[in-house]
Chains A and B, each alone.
Chain A
Amino acid sequence: MIKENNIKFIFLSLSLFLIILIFFFPFFWIITSSFKSPEEIIATSTTIIPRSFTLEHYNKILFNSDFFIYLKNSLIVSFSSMIISIILSVSAAYGLHKLKFYGNKFVEYSLLVTYAFPGVILLVPIYLLFAKVNLLNSYFALIIVNVLFATPFAVWMLKAFFKLIPNEIEEAAYIDGASRYIVISRIIVPLAAPGIASVAIFCFIISWTEYLFASILISGDNLKTLPVGLAGIVGQYQIDWGFLLSGAVLASLPVILLFVFIGKYFVSGLTEGAVK
């Protein structure tokens, strides 16, 4: 017994060390590097503990670039996509998992399979479709696509939360004469709130990080989102690393802040029996 526990302990510490090194160290690295002087960032002998400290990169990106325009665009697109996704996926999840209708298994699996179609396969035809109906270069073009990407998985995530709500509560409410609307707004939504929070952050993340469609469907500089703006710097021949790093840190901040507040719901949404 003691011997097995020792092996377990060694395994656990080793994998913890590796996980921290592989999955957390890179963040330490770019955050500290974004405060280093340009010379130190590109020096051949890299320094784990920074030797210089400067705010010049942040100064440049905040006061001497289009950062705030991109930020505003990303915020508008992500929040709108998030709200529409929540409405559509909560409604669909309720129908799928609480009402049980003919064909619900088919819809459930089809939703999972729709992950096959998004992405680059739809890029060319969606571009042509949006060109036809004059949707290119609009927030709505990105919102339509983001909702498509986010909702199938969102419905799947909500399944566990809806299944946890006992049917008896609903039935009791109906006996008391409550309407479907009352049941949903007073019982289902409040009880599934953690699930809805986790879906919200998932949809926000999907929209916030989306690059491919944003780079094709938007060509006007004043409508570009943060990932597209950043990618423009990555593609330059001579990369201004300090500028790029501070941009990367700032572009990650909003999702990280959101995650600080409702991240635990997202993680529990994923971990607490989404597959029961």
Chain B
Amino acid sequence: MEKYLYIALFAPLVSSLFSALFTATPKKQFVGIVASFLIFSAFVSSYILLGHIMDGGEPIHVEMMTWMATGNLYIPFGFVVDQISVTMMMVVTLVSTIVHIYSIGYMDHDKGFNRFFAWLSAFVFSMMILVMSDNYAGLFIGWEGVGLCSWGLIGFWFHKDIATWAANEAFIMNRIADLGMLIGLFLVYWNTGTLQYEGAFAAFAQLDTATLTWIGIFLFIGAMGKSAQFPLHTWLADAMEGPTPVSALIHAATMVTAGVYLVIRSNELYSLIPHVGLFIASLGAFVALFAASMALVNRDMKRIIAYSTLSQLGYMFAAAGLGAYWVALFHLMAHAFFKALLFLGAGNVMHAMHDELDPFKMGGLKKVMKWTWIMMTIASLALAGIFPFAGFFSKDTILEAAFAEHHMVIYGVLLFTAGLTAFYSFRLVALIFHGEERYKIFGIHPHEAYRFMLIAMSPLLILAMIAGVFQAPFFEMVEEILGAAEYHIHSHVTLWIMLVGTQIFVGLAILYAYKKYGTWSSVPDGSSKMENSFIYKLLYNQYYIPYAYEEYIVKPYNEISEILWTKVDQKIVDASVDGIAGFFYSAGENTRDMQSGNLSTMLKWMVAGIIILLSLAVVFGLAARYSGEIMAILSGLGV
């Protein structure tokens, strides 16, 4: 079985290195094919490992080699395939296989075709390290690796200023959070003496609550950055500047869920500190609502889906914070399927519309893009949580968990957000695929994506439809490691009311969205009454948070930097260093005339030097000899 572990881990690395060989050459179709094949082999290996674990096999634990061994510190390159990591491996390899194949079509005309695959596979490799590592240090390496690859892929079209800006924003925001994570790791090591999960979890039970709370908080700060939770959320929407397959893989299905994975992985820590868990759950619920509200009015297709991702991450954190770790992991998996599908569908639309992102400029596309329409509709149904699609099983369980744990505020917020989710998802679908064909004004002739791209997407389509049936086997698999908390509402009547009520509520939201936007016929120009209302402006400008960051953090920071640069750096640091160098330089410049080359002059200088040195020797000799007397005279003078 170890063999499969190594294939799953290193096939993406091989793929990345192989593609990297061709980065300087023009597009080569086989690079994409080889990369996809290698990622697919990682997927097959993961699938075999999943079979092994599901059959009740022991978790596979290997120590490839020693990484650091100094004094008491021992960190190996160790990898573990257990119930949690195998789930993540399946999600990562499956979605990335599909995205790789899809990208062959999507990046067809791009000059950076080969480079794209090098980055994308490098990302998969980093993500595999992140989820498979058996210690926090390895997780951190993967964590930084995915951050780096995310930076490279958001800024893939580096000739666009906005793309590089977004890439840097994502990278810097993650650095801020990673500092928190790093402090968390130091605290873990400091207090337990190890970074191995097993050893650290075993030692957590003996620590006092205050220490555990700090560890939990700092690790969660890291998770907040990676999973774009408030207040570090702005980078995710801006990250949509990257190519759409990247958004599907990194900013929907895998990397952004790494924060959730961290919390789930550290469940033994967080179950010891339920008050931090409650904070996580509250923040998650808040972000769910907060992000969904921004998605309501946005006019950028990819940003709407990005806010939806943010909102769903909030759901996952809400579940994980309440101790329902397996529910969070299940929602993570289901969400990866339908959200990746939604993004890839959006990619098809973007291609058809020549990179137009405003859904108000589309409309009526279902005639020309039948399959994309079907896929995005089903993905949206799954996202909205309509029975019997994937989202119903995962999201309703989160609602049930909140209800069963008697956190009614969280439950209420999540329930309301479910309605908003349905509304904005179908607002998007209705605007893109229904109503009048507004794109004709702009002279665009849309066309369906390549057939093989659609076929590549079909596994996601099927999974978005049927992932619910995996709930029971999934629960059986992970209950050993994540706790057997099944969330049953005591009374059946209550349960049914909840289920049916939620469905009706969500269904009404969908109908309302169709009614309002299904027959839309014009492109808004900012003159309507709604567009001028305060709430619309507030939501459309993302609560003015990016503006506030710009105004109150970036600009003051820039000004302080400017002052430090011109005043401190240039006037003090540089000036003193340059001054010293300048002194010696000018001293040399002024004394070079001595080197006239005339022996006679040189001899005169030599004699002068000897006399000076001799007289110094005499003076110091005398001073040393009569030091007692000199001291006496000086003290007499009162020095």
Partners in one complex: no
